[in-house]
Chain A
Amino acid sequence: MSVLSIEDLCVTYSTSTGDLRALRNVTLDVPRERIVGLVGESGCGKSTLINAILGLLAANGRIDHGRILFQGRNIAELSADELRAMRGPGIATVFQDPMGALNPVFRIGRQMINIQYRSKLSRAEKANRAAETLRSVRIPDAEAALKRYPHEFSGGMKQRIAIAMALMMKPAILIADEPTTALDATLEVATIELLQELQRDIGCSMLFISHHMGVIAELCDDVVVMYAGEVVESGTTRQVFLQPRHPYTRNLIRCDPARQHTRVRQLPTIPGDLPNLRSRPRGCIFAPRCEMRKEICEEPPPQDVSNGHMARCHLAVEH
């Protein structure tokens, strides 16, 4: 059974200029002990999806259709107390900006003890656990680190502390929202290796969100590609990267400057802009920017699955 499964989810925000459909028919699965990568550029609906999973949608947002199942239970049917009990031991999150996750006016130790409020351990035992967790993310001199304030740490160390705090409750699933984007290249690599190791040790699942294709290829078992609030392709990492079926995925991989091994004067780009989400086209969402567009693309595309490799594209069927 999957730890987290999202079935045909539609989320709409009501705004003064009309309804905005942020997610349309999003389906994805995070199986036990697997790392699922979610790739998408700005405006693809990643944040809406995370907030929907955590039950933290903005007041003007609503789930129109579909379900979010966490360990088989529909999140929409949980009470506020049940949701609170789920966040932490059930679902933990690491965000892009480590400074935003730590309170600047309290010492690290106090914050790490406070988040263990559910536990019956004594204060000293909680402090020990905090130090132990810091050691697991390779913070040198963990006991002394507990007595320091967030600003005394470098960006990479702060992100590792945020990861330590998220994993302290040994969650069933970790949602990592661009955790390495704000870090330098050498730190990014070290953080990815650390996440991989911790995930194996704890045996949790992970939903890893990033627009960095290289990181996803390196870390993840499965990949889901989102565009303008829709899942356009999903499959195992090898399927998606080695035989991408959706034109958007192919374009994304082609555009990555890391992919170009010879110097070029003109880098490939994806011409055009994101569609207006207030008036989505009836047909394929990517059609206006797709160089392979045909007449049939005016019709809603089918979700074609072969060997667990899904692509929402008319033209993927023909291939």
Chain B
Amino acid sequence: MKPILEVNAMNVTFKVGPPYRRQDLQAVAGISFDVRAGETFALVGESGSGKTTLARAINGLQRITSGEVIFEGKRIDGLGRSAMRPIRRHMSMMFQDPVGSLSPRMTVGDLVTEPFRIHRVEADLAAETQRLLALVGLPLEFASRYPHQLSGGQARRVGVARSIALNPRLIIADEPTAGLDVSVQGEVLNLLNDLRDRLGLAMIIITHNLHVVFHVADRMSVMYLGRFVESGSTQDIFDAPMHPYTAALLSASPEPRPDRKSARISLPAEVPSLLDRPNGCEFHTRCPWARARCAADAPTIEGTSRRVSCFYPLERGVLRATQEHAK
């Protein structure tokens, strides 16, 4: 099946600093991936890894420096505002901060029908309000409420309703569960899963929360300093991470079991600056398994379905050995 979205060798560079000392900050560095219909793809990385910039670049909110973005077979990078508008109808974005992304002056009813007005789509707005609120599981009387009267989970549902209003083919969700209570996170993820199955959407989820990824994403990529360090099917990566950074991320999330002292791979806390990227493998300054070659040569991301950018990828046994050791 042809992918809905293809990103090829994308670079996004920002110019920073005063004019007499301009520096290039490469926020997204040579990223390639694709997403197919009915599939959820997750971008995982910590703050500053470039995942939000990547999302904005796909959507055309951020100009890319080189590379291409192909949506439904058509190149969309570099398109202007008015050329982008009909495309955004089919590619909607869910921003971080459930309450902050809703205008405080509009009612829920206005908010969920705003996409119809922006894209000048003729529709029975009252009927659409009813349909959308029902889809995201909010009672109809919410239509007259304002964002400040909503809880975080309810506000997130309104955000979801807005993003699916015009039956898009792709949804890009930036941190859909950040700031929500544990019991509500499950609700939002179930809703996204359910909508994807029912409407046959493609979805890109951007998050730093690996537990979220595990339950919703089919495939995932891990970003570090603007590059993918590992990509593959979610199940495979969770079963046996190959890049040391992925392994460290996976080991870093504490589980609610008091007696289970997790085998933790601790990393030195400081992430290198994007303005001063390390030589060789960019992760070698924090990597517990770094060897001489890692500081000298830069690995490239290799493989087909499972790709990893590391000279000495972990094998199941290696990780298991360290876990035994930590016990």
Contact = CB atoms under 8 A, between A and B. Distances in A.
Interface stretch (A60-68, A78-86, A237-245): A237-245
Nearest to B154: A273
Interface in B83-131: none
B254 A215 contact: yes
Contacts of B270: 140, 154
Interface string B166-190: 0000000000000001111111011
- Chain A binding surface SS class: helix
B266 A214 contact: no
Contacts of B256: 213-214, 216-217, 241, 253, 256, 258-259
B151 A255 contact: no
B104 to A, nearest CB: 19
A156 B46 CA distance: 12
Interface in B245-290: 248-249, 252-259, 262, 264, 266-267, 269-271
B198 interface: no
B255 A184 contact: no
B257 A263 contact: no
Given A42-B151, A214-B253, A257-B185, A186 B210 contact: no
A125 interface: no
B258 A189 contact: no
B215 to A, nearest CB: 6
B162 interface: no
A260 interface: yes
A241 B211 contact: no
Contact of A184 (B185, B208, B212, B215): B208
Contacts of B181: 41-42, 211
Please classify how large the interface on chain B is, using the bins under 10, 10 to 19, 20 to 34, 35 or more.
Answer: 35 or more
B47 interface: yes
B235 interface: yes
Interface in A71-114: none
Given A214-B253, A217-B256, A267-B215, A186 B186 contact: no
B269 A190 contact: yes
A263 B211 contact: no
A251 B181 CA distance: 13
A124 interface: no
B183 A269 contact: yes
A270 B181 CA distance: 11
A188 interface: yes
A42 B152 contact: yes
Contact of A156 (B189, B257, B269): B269
15 contacts: A41-B184, A185-B253, A211-B182, A216-B256, A217-B256, A217-B257, A237-B258, A241-B256, A251-B183, A252-B183, A259-B256, A263-B215, A263-B235, A266-B193, A269-B183
Given A185-B249, A258-B254, 14 more contacts: A42-B151, A185-B46, A186-B248, A186-B249, A214-B256, A237-B258, A255-B182, A256-B256, A258-B253, A260-B214, A260-B215, A263-B235, A267-B215, A269-B184
